[in-house]
Every structure is written in C-alpha cells, then in structure tokens.
Amino acid sequence: MAATAAASLAVGADNPTRAEPNAKMDGQNRTRVTLSVNGKNHDLDLDNRTTLLDALREHLHLTGTKKGCDHGQCGACTVIVDGRRINACLTLAIMHEEEAVTTIEGLGQPGNLHPMQAAFVRHDGFQCGYCTPGQICSSLAVLEEIKANIPSHATGDLAAAASLTPEEIRERMSGNICRCGAYSNIVDAILDAAGTRA
C-alpha cells in the first residue's frame, strides 16, 4: 500500500497540468460587481458562479438570509429584488447589478421593527426562527402582489381582483416552508400587518 501511495504522489508531482487544490482561479472566471443591498452599494470581486445567497452571507456577512435546502424549495433564502421576491440560492449575484436587493437586515432593527416583523412577534409567527427572515421578506412581497392584482391559483377567476384572504395568503406563501408548523400564526401576522383583523 505504501508503495502504491508513493507512486501516485510521484505521478502527480510529474504532471504539470494537475491543478493545486487551493489554486486561485484566473481573472476570466471572476467579475467585479457593485451590488446595492439595503440601500448601500458594495463593490465585490466574485467568482462568476457565486449565488446571490452566498454573496450576501459569505461576502457581505448578512447572515439573516438563511441557507436551507440550497435548491429553491424551502424559501429560507427569500430576499426582495426590485420589489419582487426571489430565492437567492437560485440566482447568480452578477445578474443583480443595478438592482435594489433588500434582506431582512434592511427592513428593521431591534427597537425599530418593520410592521411585518412586529406582527410576526405579536402573533408568534415563528418557533425556531430559522425560516422567519425569508417568511417576512416573502410576506411583504405577497402584499404587494395582491395590491398589484397579480393573480394566483387561489384567485380563481383571473378576471377577478385578487383579495387579501387567508386562502390567498396560504397559496402565495406556499413556497416558504416552516418546519415548526407556525403557518396559521404566519397568516394571522400577515393579515395584521396588512391592517386586517385575523
């Protein structure tokens, strides 16, 4: 075994095309990007394959946006880009230059919560809290979608106006998973933040 391992190392050492495990990529695989996040511009030098989620978490240290499934199935990474909610794990950071990205950190701070954050607290719309940043970002976009009369599967008649009902909210929020099962409280929080009694 020792002889085989030594032979393998010797072959690797003689092969100049073999990449070093920690070798830096050359400039053609990187892009200089300016991302506008929570109202501030950030100049970043990114690997072209960096997702928006990884840019936010690893480069800007905005860890409120969570990495859940990393496949766009759980909604934990939901952020708002130019007023629309997106799964940050499914999009590349370089695609969002000159767009306004809002994360949970851009909505409110302790002592000065956004009305949606305050509603989630009032209605106990979370348990472990892991998915809550994505739930809140998605909730804000849901209210804007309904206000803009964008139909969903729950709307029924596409000619009818979208209305703020528990059914409509549940349908629109179905891409955000809460493994703790706080769904009914989340719906109540959204209705409360929208000014409707739950």
Query: Residue ranges per domain, the chain?
Result: 30-106, 115-193
Determine the pLDDT at residue 138. Answer: 97
Q: Which CATH superfamily is domain 115-193 in?
A: [2Fe-2S]-binding domain (1.10.150.120)
* pLDDT tens track for 151-171: 777 776 666 677 889 999 999
pLDDT value of position 43: 96
Q: Is 96 helix (H, G, I), strand (E, B) or coil?
A: helix
The residues, ordered by sequence, that sit 6+ positions from 84 with a Cβ below 8 Å of its Cβ are 141
Contact residues for 132 (Cβ-Cβ < 8 A; gap 6+) = 104, 120, 125, 126
- pLDDT confidence of residue 162: 78
- pLDDT at 6 (0 to 100): 52
Q: Thinking of the domain 30-106, which architecture would CATH place it in?
A: Roll (3.10)
Whether the full predicted model's pTM is greater than 0.95, yes or no, is no
pLDDT on residue 16: 45
Q: What does the block give as tokens for 67? A: 């990495």
pLDDT, block means (10 residues), the chain with 198 residues: 52 46 61 96 96 98 96 96 97 96 95 95 94 97 91 70 88 94 95 80
Question: Which residues share a beta bridge with 92?
Answer: 51
pLDDT value of residue 22: 42
Report residue 111: phi and psi, to 5°: 90, -15
Identical fold at 30-106 and 115-193?
A: no
